Amino acid sequence: MPIDFKGLRVVSFESRQGAEMAELIKEAGGKPIIAPSMREISIEHNREALAFAELLLAGQIDLLILMTGVGTRLLVKAVATKYSTIKFIEALKSIKIVALGPKPSAALKEMGLAPTILVPKPNTWPDLLITLDEQYPISNKQVAVQEYGQSNPELIKSLEERGAKVLPVPVYRWELPEDIEPLRRAIHDIISEGPERVDFALFTSSTQVRHLFQVARTNNVERQLLEAFKQVCIGSVGPIASRAITGQGLTVDYEPDTTKMVHLVREMARRGGDLLHKKRTAFANKIDTNQWRRIDMVWQPGTDAEPTIKDSVFMKTCRREQTPHTPVWIMRQAGRYQREYLRIRKKVSMLELCKTPELAAEVTLMAVDRLGVDAAIIFADILLVTEPMGLNLEFVKGEGPVIHNPIRTREDVDRLNYPDVNELSYVFDAIKITRRALRPNIALIGFAGAPFTIASYMIEGGKSSHFAKTKTMMYRDKAAWHALMERLTKILSEYLNCQIAAGADAVQLFDSWVGSLSPDDYRQYVMPHVKRLVEGLDKSAPVISFSTGNPALLPLMKAAGGDVSGLDWRADLAEAWSVLGDDVAVMGNMDPVVLYTSPNEIRAHVKPFWTRLQADLDTSSI
């Protein structure tokens, strides 16, 4: 997806880095509007800084928290008005110093110092608290906090709740710029409905937000500004700016996962066009886009040239039709690295997230907004079907799914419940919500675990390397094995059909562990059940079969049924497709670990997939 604002107007409220921000916006194809919103005012005769220095030199400070690089340097200058800088630096060597990211670390390096504790990205004060909890308990400690611009009462309160005695040390404050005319013009352009109307607003600090609305209130246009933001795509550099934005009654449309100005610009240029179209469509459909969630979105497919599911690149690919571009399938849980997802997971368990339809739908849509994909896959887990069968499922941190009452004998199989598929209605509700809020030409994929993989979890009780318990039951007690597989086939067929009825455009069978079997074992113990499962599915939705670890199973898996064969990185794409034939689509098969490398390296791995195939195969069906 290109990084291109396509000539749209982008307002930034940067001051010190205004010229740099303007250049970044231009490079990304936007028309920059720079409205400086703040200036630093150093505190003269800084009594708080001198009081801190006095306590430090007397050995009465345990921990110093440095929030900014500029603030660190100003603190040293303020102290130097009364005390020796050399003695001050020597005293700093005797205490713990926490640096909130690389900028205060760089300021310390200039003095020949290094932080005792470096707060990891994204370098926010909540990250600071987590780091202190893990590395340095502060109960009964005297903690000094270098403040900047404006005091953070939430941070001070949180430190005090942990038992610290907190000494705030302000070193500068933020004021409006002396010339606020550019800020007034920016407000006018945001409110305007003419050609000068602003399309994107980028915020890189909380003070920018406060000062923007301060000027709007002074000019009696705050209400108009709030109303205008309903049609402006809002980007925030990170959590602190986002809190200020939401505090003004707005919703952040995009927050990158790294708190860098360049990433904010590039990501907004890459995703902003779609997000702006979505926001203005929602506004036209009477949705309050200042106070909305992704699940509140309403589309009207087929009207005003809006595309429909018939235009879906993903669905055309599943049907082996000509497509405008070749989709690249990334088999990865999209949410786990996202800050927004992690915030949700701190509040709820995995099972609670899966069983709360609004949250599951929101997380599904979150990945779509972030990545700009051709299809979404509903947020759920393959093992949800085991609970209504009577098994005690738990997701254990660091271990994954655990079944506390595993199946080991025929008697255990016979004790399983014959579940009502409606016990899984929370999944179907999540699909309904997601399908309504998802752009009509973006497909929604439902899924389930295939019978062998689910049976293996049920027997092993969790993850396994050798599947000894599973294979022992399979070989020793064939009747028990087939009884278990028949039960799973029935519930999984009903489960997937209900997902299709709820709005899933395609469904995928994940047989993640079946690669542990030989072709003969697959043919005897698994294939009849998968075949019956696929034959029982609603034919309106393509079926994707996916396995890992054993390309020798591909011909048998094709014979078991399905419209698309998913391949992992251990299969050669061209060879696999020649084995499967051209009456199925194939999906794969880059190693997901490649995603840990650079964008250039990722492109270098993706490109060979179709260049190797081009001589023999029609790559439009990939």
Looking at residue 472, its pLDDT comes to 96
Is residue 610 domain-resident? yes
pLDDT greater at residue 388 or residue 334: 388
Amino acid code (one letter) for 452: F
How far is residue 180's CA from residue 37's CA, in Å, rounded to a whole number?
7
Looking at residue 614, its pLDDT comes to 62
What is the mean pLDDT of the segment spanning 526-551?
95
What is the mean pLDDT of the segment spanning 589-599?
82
Of the listed ranges 480-484, 485-489, 566-570, the least confidently predicted one is 566-570
Q: How confident is the model at residue 622 (pLDDT cuts 50, 70, 90)?
A: very low
Is residue 213 domain-resident? yes
Is residue 351 domain-resident? yes
28 token code pair: 């990304």
Same domain for 324 and 379, yes or no, is yes
Would residue 563 show up in a list of annotated catalytic residues for this protein?
A: no
Q: What is the DSSP string of 574-592?
A: HHHHHHH-TTSEEE----G
Mean pLDDT over each residue of the chain, to the nearest integer:
92
Helix (H, G, I), strand (E, B) or coil at 539: coil
Same domain for 552 and 533, yes or no, is yes
Instruction: Select which of 73, 173, 345, 408 is catalytic.
Output: 345
CATH number at residue 17: 3.40.50.10090
Same domain for 200 and 221, yes or no, is yes
415 contact partners, CB below 8 Å, separation of at least 6: 390
Q: How confident is the model at residue 619 (pLDDT cuts 50, 70, 90)?
A: very low
Is residue 303 domain-resident? no
Same domain for 183 and 167, yes or no, is no
User: End-to-end CA distance of the chain, in Å?
Assistant: 18
Is residue 301 domain-resident? no
The total number of structural domains in the chain stands at: 3
Residues 286-303 have pLDDT tens digits of 999 999 999 999 887 666
Residues 86-133 have pLDDT tens digits of 999 999 999 999 999 899 999 999 999 999 999 988 788 888 999 999
Write down which residue in 292, 320, 348 finishes a domain: 292
Looking at residue 607, its pLDDT comes to 77
Same domain for 102 and 154, yes or no, is yes
Residues 251-268 have pLDDT tens digits of 999 999 888 899 999 999
Residues 180-239 have pLDDT tens digits of 999 999 999 999 999 999 999 999 999 999 999 999 999 999 999 999 999 999 999 988
Residues 367-386 have pLDDT tens digits of 899 888 899 999 999 999 99
Same domain for 273 and 326, yes or no, is no
CATH number at residue 448: 3.20.20.210
Same domain for 96 and 185, yes or no, is no
Instruction: Select which of 336, 520, 583, 596 is catalytic.
Output: 336
* 117 CB neighbour count, 10 Å cutoff: 17
Cα within 13 Å of Cα(306), Cβ side: 19
31 token code pair: 């028309």
How far is residue 58's CA from residue 45's CA, in Å, rounded to a whole number?
21
Instruction: Select which of 217, 293, 332, 415 is catalytic.
Output: 332
Same domain for 402 and 458, yes or no, is yes
Could you tell me if residue 510 is left (phi over 0), alpha (psi between -120 and 50 degrees) or otherwise beta? beta
Of the listed ranges 147-161, 327-341, 501-515, the least confidently predicted one is 327-341
Write down which residue in 292, 322, 342 finishes a domain: 292
Looking at residue 621, its pLDDT comes to 37
Beta bridge partners of 142: 165
Looking at residue 331, its pLDDT comes to 61
Instruction: Select which of 148, 341, 457, 525 is catalytic.
Output: 457
Looking at residue 282, its pLDDT comes to 95
Is residue 241 domain-resident? yes
Q: How far is CA 495 from the centre of its chain?
A: 27
Sheet holding 375-377, edge to edge: 375-377, 443-449, 506-511, 543-547, 564-566, 585-587
Same domain for 211 and 261, yes or no, is yes
Is residue 302 domain-resident? no
Portion of the chain with pLDDT greater than 90, in percent:
75
Would residue 345 show up in a list of annotated catalytic residues for this protein?
A: yes
Would residue 336 show up in a list of annotated catalytic residues for this protein?
A: yes
Looking at residue 239, its pLDDT comes to 86
Looking at residue 338, its pLDDT comes to 78
Is residue 266 domain-resident? yes
Same domain for 204 and 108, yes or no, is no
Same domain for 519 and 574, yes or no, is yes
Cα within 13 Å of Cα(225), Cβ side: 24
Q: How confident is the model at residue 620 (pLDDT cuts 50, 70, 90)?
A: very low
Instruction: Select which of 296, 381, 521, 572 is catalytic.
Output: 381
Q: Is the pLDDT of residue 339 over 60?
A: yes
Same domain for 158 and 196, yes or no, is no
Looking at residue 304, its pLDDT comes to 62
What range does the domain containing 331 cover? 309-621
Look at residues 614, 612, 613, 593 and name the one whose alpha carbon lies nearest to residue 602: 593
How far is residue 498's CA from residue 503's CA, in Å, rounded to a whole number?
9
The answer to whether the CB of 438 falls within 8 A of the CB of 504 is no
How far is residue 225's CA from residue 228's CA, in Å, rounded to a whole number?
5
Residues 427-459 have pLDDT tens digits of 999 999 999 999 999 999 999 999 999 999 999
How far is residue 232's CA from residue 48's CA, in Å, rounded to a whole number?
41
Write down which residue in 156, 175, 194 finishes a domain: 175
